[in-house]
Each structure stands twice: as C-alpha cells, then as structure tokens.
Structure 1
Amino acid sequence: MKLSVFTVATPDLQPEALAKSAADAGIEGIEWRFKEVPADAAEEKPSFWRHNRCSIDPGGTEEDWLRFRQAADKFGRRSLAVVPYLTCGDVEATEKVMQAAKLIGASFIRVGIPGYDRKHNYNELYDQAVRYLHEVQDLAAAYQVKALVETHHLTIAPSAGLTHRLVSHFNPQHIGVLYDPGNMVHEGYENYRMGLELLGPYLAHVHVKNAGYRKTPSEDGSTAVWSGEWVSLAQGAVPWVQVIQDLHSVGYDGYFGIEDFSGTYESTEMLLRFAEQMKVWADHKQRV
C-alpha cells in the first residue's frame, strides 16, 4: 500500500520538516499545497487554509519552487502532486500549476470545477466545466502531467457518478479523478464499489480522511438540523476497511493520501498514526 500526504493537513511544518516526518512514518509521496499565504496571516498560528507553512507560493520563482523538490529528494520522498485551488476556466493559472508540477517532477495536479449553490443552473455550470477541461486536457498532454477532478461537496462533482459524467468526455491518460470518500460524507455518497466500478480507468488517486454528522435543534426546537464535520480517521462515517476492499476489487494500486482536518493530533504524530492505521486496515482487508 502506497501512502502520501497532502500538505494542507500539515500547516505547522516547513517543507524539510514535513519530508522528514513523512520518511519517519514510511509515507512515500508528497502532495504539495500550491497557494500563497495571505500577508495578514503570516503572524497567525499555523492553520490549514491561511498560515500554511508547507505551501508552494504561486508567485514564487522557480528557485523557490525547487525548494520543495529538494526537500522531498533529501529524504527520499516523491513529489507526487501539486495541489492548487483553481477557478474553473482560468487556463492561464492552470498552465502555471502545470509548469510547477513539471519542474518538481510531480505526476498530477488538481483542477478547478464550478461550485454549486443553487444560484446558477447545473447544466450551464456543467457546460462551462467541459469547455475548460478540453483546454486542460491539451495542457496535460503537453506537460505530461495528469489533471484530476476531485469528488467534492458543494461542487457539480460531489459523487462518483457526477464526476464520471464530467470526465467521461476525455482521455483518462490526461484527465482523471481524485476519489475522496470523506468529502462524500458531506454530500455525494454512493455505494463505494459501484462508484469505483463506474470510474474505471479515470480513478487516479484517493484521499483519506473522515467525517461524521452533528445534530443541532432549530431555533424554535421544532426540527433537527444535521451537518457534517471532520473527525479522526477511525471515528467517522466512512467505513475505510470496506472502501479499501472495494478499491482492491477494481484493481486500484495508486496512493492513499492523508488529508486529515480533524485536528486530533499534531502533524508529525498524525502522519505516524495514519501509516499505522492504514496498515491495520490493509491487514484486515487481507484476512477477509
């Protein structure tokens, strides 16, 4: 079982410290976050989405970007991906991420797809995404870096089925899917094996995290309101032993990338526990 870490989940670690911690945990791949740190966040406590010390700055120089490859190389890790927060249709920014990925030797990037908030018609957003992905596919072929669409709540691709509908227009050598069951707790749940069978050759990567549900009463107490929240890997609604079995059933042999937002452990311990937990789950799968 090949393991990786998406550095959004390790905001307190500098690249070199992250690479060392990954090596100590037996985690081979690194998915580097590609996002600037806001100027007003620099003095804040490290956090996933603002003061993240393990992020490639899109405004940096090639020398700045190469620091991340060098950190991985120093500890014998692989720079697996560059993971940005792209806007659907922004081809110029997408090409910049491709350039960074090519420079540091990464295999894939994540691309942007439209969000869905009931303000715009799904069909119009879908057409917009397809037009964008046609351009992305050309870039992916030119740079030899695969572009992945993530199953993500609050977007037009929350489930395996809707994600497949989007990527099915394209060559799976260039456009693939980042499958994230944790996101699908919030929105997009389908039978895991069925969704994976549908994705077929488009399945390119898997993120590992977990989520559960919180029940709160409405203001007048007459109804219940349910919402999703991040929890530790073994405590959430995703039955990871089953998911691993289903991934095995479709021949998945790629990476499992940790993206734990629960805050249960500090970063270094989180990586160690992730690797230990995945071994337990993999051993359980083999006994079934």
Structure 2
Amino acid sequence: MKVSVYSLSASDKKPVEVVHLAKRYNCDGIEWWCREGAHIDLLNLMSSAREVSKITSESGLLCAGIAPYFKYNEPREYLSKIFEAARILNTRNIRCHSYPFDGSTPVEDLIKKQRKWLEEVVLPEAEKADVRVNIEQHHNMICCTPNACRDLVDGLPEKNIGIIFDPGNSAVEGFTRPEYSISVFGKYLAHVHVKNCKQTQTTEGAVSGRKYKMEFGSVAEGDLDWKSIIAALQKSGFNGFISLEALDKRPSEKKVEEDIVYLQKILSEI
C-alpha cells in the first residue's frame, strides 16, 4: 500500500505547500483536488494541470489521482478534457460521485440513469484515454453502501471503472465490516479514503434515521479502527493508495502531521 494525502485536506495551502507537507511526512503521493478555484483549477484546467504536474514530479511524489466533481450528464468533450488533465498529471485515477439521494426519485431510477451515462459516455472516453473513473462510496448518495457501489459498476471493465472505499463516509451512512466491504468491491477496489468519524450530541444536520450528527476528526480518534481496516486491506492484497481526506477544522499542517504519522505507524506494525 502507498500513502497519499488528498489535497482538499490542506485547501488553504498552495499546491507547492501541499507538496512540501507531503514530502515532510513521507507520503508516496498526492491526490489532487480539482474544481473551480481548487489546486487544479477547472477554470484554467490545462495550465493548472501542467503546473501541478511539474511540482509533483520534481518532488519525486506520485499523483495518486484527481478529484473533480461531476453532475453525471457531462458530454464526452468535457470528459476528454478532464482525462487529458489526468494524463498530464501521470495518473489514471479520477474520482466520481454518484447521484445524491433525497427520496424524491427511486434509487433504482438513479442507478439506471448513472449506469447509462457510464456506459454510453464515460466508458468510451475512459478506454480511449486509458484512465479509470472511480465511484466513491459516499453518504447521502445512491452509492452509500458497498453493494450499491458494486451494483452500479458490476459488469463494466475494471480497467476503466473502479470504486473508492471510504470507511469514514460509511460511518455516517452505510457501514459494513471492512472484510465484507472489500469482498463486495472485489476487482473494482481502486483507492481508499482515510478519515475517522464520531457521534456528536448535535441533532441538527443528522442523517435521516439518526438522532445525532456524525463529525469527522482525527484518524486516531473516532468510531473506526483503522488498524483493523488496513490489516483487512493488506490481507486482501490491496496495493493501491490509502489517501488522507482530513475534513475537520484542525490546521492543515496539524492534520497532515498527526494523521499521516499515525497511518505510517499502523503500516509499520501490521
């Protein structure tokens, strides 16, 4: 397994500062945040990708992937630009969410709609560009559980379509044991997001069916046992990136220092 930091964890830092942080704490790579005004700026996509690629490669770090935001109706022309940016950054991995779910449209209809987009629009361009589009397991979306993720992508070529395992998101909605999740994802498991989560005493913002809101925080603290999750990943033979996605309010440097050091310690012990 390789360790990376998702640059959204340090959203207040410039790309070169994110690189310095990742190097300081012995990361293997960086997963780059990609949207308007982000580290990879969609408003200046190619020039931004070239700049970030240069500082990443010169540092000796790998690009673990890019994380854009899709509306699931983007045309091939738009996707080809995102995929070209991935080529510039020397990565095949591109994050993709699934449809948000608010109960107004049946899940089955949303899965059919996104599957159609994946088959007819995304896959031909992904095959042409030799990239892999990875569906992220995410609360409040149709792919909040391992089985929903697998249902969406099952039968599509795993070379070009994958799944991002996110135990932190699943702690909010859709949690299953890591061994079960990994087994369900199977050949589609492409990438892992690392964060922890714990229950608050705040009711506002709670997921439907929960009394209290869940809150992201330090990887070492919370409801998830990351040592057992990483052990399960190792046992499965997973050799991709585990990528820190620290979304809490700690200062960026503190998040990277505390959480990456903790992950490195786990990896040295298992």
- TM-score, with structure 2 as normaliser: 0.92
Q: Which residue of 2 aligns with 1:6?
A: 6
Q: Which residue of 2 aligns with 1:42?
A: none
Residue segments in structure 2 that go unaligned for 5+ positions in a row: 205-209
Is residue 4–residue 31 contact of structure 1 (8 Å, CA) maintained in 2? yes
Q: 1:79 aligns with which of 63, 74, 80?
A: 63
Query: Cα deviation per residue 1:17-56 (whole Å; 9 max; x = unaligned)?
Result: 111111111112111111113xxxxxxxxxxxxxx5xx21
Query: Deviation at 1:197?
Result: 1.0
- Asked if 1:271 corresponds to 2:256, the answer is yes
Q: Distance in 2 between matches of 1:173 and 1:99?
A: 17
Structure 1 range deviating more: 268-277 or 246-255 = 268-277
Is residue 110–residue 148 contact of structure 1 (8 Å, CA) maintained in 2? yes
Q: Which residue of 1 aligns with 2:42?
A: 58
Q: Which residue of 1 aligns with 2:162?
A: 176
- Asked if 1:191 corresponds to 2:177, the answer is yes
Q: Distance in 2 between matches of 1:214 and 1:85?
A: 28
Is residue 25–residue 260 contact of structure 2 (8 Å, CA) maintained in 1? yes
Q: Distance in 1 between matches of 2:94 and 2:264?
A: 27
Query: Deviation at 1:192?
Result: 1.3
Amino acid in the other structure paired with 2:198 = G
Query: Deviation at 1:138?
Result: 1.5
Q: Which residue of 1 aligns with 2:108?
A: 123
Equivalenced residue count is: 263
Q: Which residue of 2 aligns with 1:226?
A: 212
Q: Distance in 2 between matches of 1:94 and 1:201?
A: 24
Query: Deviation at 1:216?
Result: 4.0
Q: Which residue of 2 aligns with 1:281?
A: 266
- Asked if 1:155 corresponds to 2:141, the answer is yes
Is residue 94–residue 111 contact of structure 1 (8 Å, CA) maintained in 2? no
2:198 aligns to what SS in structure 1?
strand
Q: Which residue of 2 aligns with 1:47?
A: none
Query: Deviation at 1:9?
Result: 1.0
Q: Distance in 1 between matches of 2:97 and 2:54?
A: 27
Query: Deviation at 1:143?
Result: 0.6
Aligned CA distance change for structure 1 residues 246 and 60 (closer, same or farther; 3 Å): same
Is residue 218–residue 259 contact of structure 2 (8 Å, CA) maintained in 1? no
Q: Which residue of 1 aligns with 2:130?
A: 144
Q: Which residue of 1 aligns with 2:92?
A: 107
Is residue 89–residue 128 contact of structure 1 (8 Å, CA) maintained in 2? no
Q: Distance in 1 between matches of 2:163 and 2:190?
A: 5
Query: Cα deviation per residue 1:170-200 (whole Å; 9 max; x = unaligned)?
Result: 0111100111000001101112101101211
Aligned Cα RMSD in Å?
1.7
Q: Distance in 2 between matches of 1:118 and 1:5?
A: 33
Amino acid in the other structure paired with 2:154 = S
Superposed structure 1 runs of 4+ greater than 6 Å apart: none
1:182 aligns to what SS in structure 2?
helix
Q: Distance in 1 between matches of 2:202 and 2:68?
A: 34
Is residue 137–residue 174 contact of structure 1 (8 Å, CA) maintained in 2? yes
Q: Which residue of 2 aligns with 1:211?
A: 197
Structure 1 range deviating more: 6-15 or 146-155 = 6-15
- Asked if 1:21 corresponds to 2:6, the answer is no
Q: 1:247 aligns with which of 214, 233, 238?
A: 233
Aligned CA distance change for structure 1 residues 215 and 64 (closer, same or farther; 3 Å): closer
Q: Which residue of 2 aligns with 1:69?
A: 53
1:226 aligns to what SS in structure 2?
coil
Query: Deviation at 1:61?
Result: 5.2
